[in-house]
Amino acid sequence: MYDHLLSPVKAGALTLSSRVIMAPLTRSRAGQPGDVPTDLNAAYYAQRAGAGLIVSEATQISQQGQGYAWTPGIYTDEQEAGWKTVTAAVHAQGGRIAAQLWHVGRISHPLLQAGGIDPVAPSALIAASSKCFVVQADGTPANVPTGAPRALATGELPGIIAQYRQATIRAKRAGFDMVEVHAANGYLLQQFLSTNTNQRTDEYGGSLENRARLALEAVDAAIAEIGAERVGVRLSPHFVGHDIADQDAEASALYLAAELQRRGIAYLHIAEPDWAGGEELTDAFRRQLRAAFGGLLIFCGGYSAAEGDALIASGVADAIAFGRPYLANPDLVERFRAGAELNAPDQSTFYGGGAHGYTDYPTLA
């Protein structure tokens, strides 16, 4: 059953045991203080090591890059040590894991920023319909509207790239097999890419090539530290969350796909419009992406095993990423192989909390 989906595949420097990818899933369970991965996080990822590749939850590359309380970072020694425990647990179960490198840009709030300063963005435009998750002054958590950002000065952008570079160095030291540059879902790199959120007049604004510059510089920084064969990138064409309205969505994705092909990265991960809404990707556009990018091409967007298997069989996709099914089914690959029923995820336990709804879902065994 699902012979295409469950077959091995090469991803850059790695050979994956199957084409079932665990998508990045924010769970807001990092240890406090310090947003440090814990033994509980290690147990969660180890349970899911049967995936061909785990992509970690989005992991901020600096405090500036954080938009939600209790998400893990990869910019302190303590965080690096915590992730080392996680990768060791995954490797002990024979798994492979990539670190997803994240800077939220304007999707943040002064309560999450050092010294209570404003978040940063390509342009000083607030994401009016967006919220972020904070711990308030009285210690209670809350979803609050995002803060008003300030525009990054051109001279600050090398510092942003340095954050991606240093995060890659730490990810490599922590034992990650790969890194994934998160250029999707309305966060900083997509804010630079999108025509409505980037109103700059310097070399990072205006033309498509200029708007894509920061994303490619972040990728180049990662390549310099870990090698192109261990770098992936996530894009989300037609994403409309966080007030993204990109008039060049498909052109941007195809331009980046070609540039990433030229760099020889391991994989391109396409997050299709799903939970955030947005225009569905057409088969023609998927085929254009396939023509532009020759590495491992992953699609993620609410696929069933049968749908994913068919997309791989068609030659358009090489692998399929599964998100919510992995919340509730740590043995998802085995369930697919056996044609078994899937556990239903408990939405009330998605964000925050402890082991309940995190490491206590039953396996077939």
Chain segment 183-192, per-residue pLDDT in tens: 999 999 999 9
- Nearest-angstrom CA–CA distance, 347 and 241: 20
User: Side-chain half-sphere of 38: how many Cα atoms within 13 Å?
Assistant: 15
- In the predicted structure, residue 276 carries a pLDDT above the cut 70: no
Band of residue 274 on the pLDDT scale cut at 50, 70, 90: confident
The mean pLDDT value for 25-37 works out to 98
Q: Using alpha carbons, list the distances in angstroms from residue 292 to 111, 187, 260.
A: 42, 24, 9
The separation between CA 309 and the C-alpha centre of its own chain, rounded to angstroms, equals 22
pLDDT tens digits for range 115-128: 999 999 999 999 99
DSSP secondary structure letters along 317-352 = -SEEEESHHHHH-TTHHHHHHHTPPPPPP-GGGSSS
Query: Average pLDDT of 290-299?
Result: 98
Tens of pLDDT along 32-65? 999 999 999 999 999 999 999 999 999 999 999 9
CA pair distance 308, 299, nearest whole angstrom: 8
**Burial of 276 per CB tally in 10 Å (0-12, 13-18, 19+):** middle
Nearest alpha carbon to residue 286 among 262, 245, 253, 323 = 253
CA angle 198, 271, 156 (to 5 degrees): 30
Distances (CA, A) of 307 to 12, 21, 299: 25, 14, 11
Instruction: Say what the pLDDT of residue 218 is.
Output: 99
Give the model's pLDDT for residue 181: 99
Q: What is the mean pLDDT of residues 259-267?
A: 98
Residue type, 200: R
What is residue 275's predicted lDDT score, i.e. its pLDDT?
A: 67
**pTM of structure:** 0.98
The pair of structure tokens assigned to 122 is: 């390509």
**What is the average pLDDT across 71-99?**
99
Mean pLDDT, the chain, whole residue set: 97
pLDDT given for residue 144 in this prediction:
97
Confidence of residue 29 (pLDDT cuts 50, 70, 90): very high
Task: Catalogue the active-site residues.
Answer: 187
- Which helix (H) or strand (E) element contains residue 91? helix 77-92
Instruction: Summarize pLDDT for 336-359 with one digit per residue, the tens.
Output: 999 999 999 999 999 999 999 999
Give residue-wise pLDDT tens across range 150-170. Answer: 999 999 999 999 999 999 999
Is the confidence at residue 277, as pLDDT, over 90? Answer: no
**Is 90 exceeded by the pLDDT of residue 1?**
no
Determine which of 4-18, 214-228, 266-280 has the lowest per-residue pLDDT on average. Answer: 266-280
Give yes or no for residue 319 having a pLDDT over 80: yes
What residue type is 136 in one-letter code? Q
Q: Going from the N-terminus, what domains does the chain have, and what CATH number goes with each? A: 45-298 (3.20.20.70)
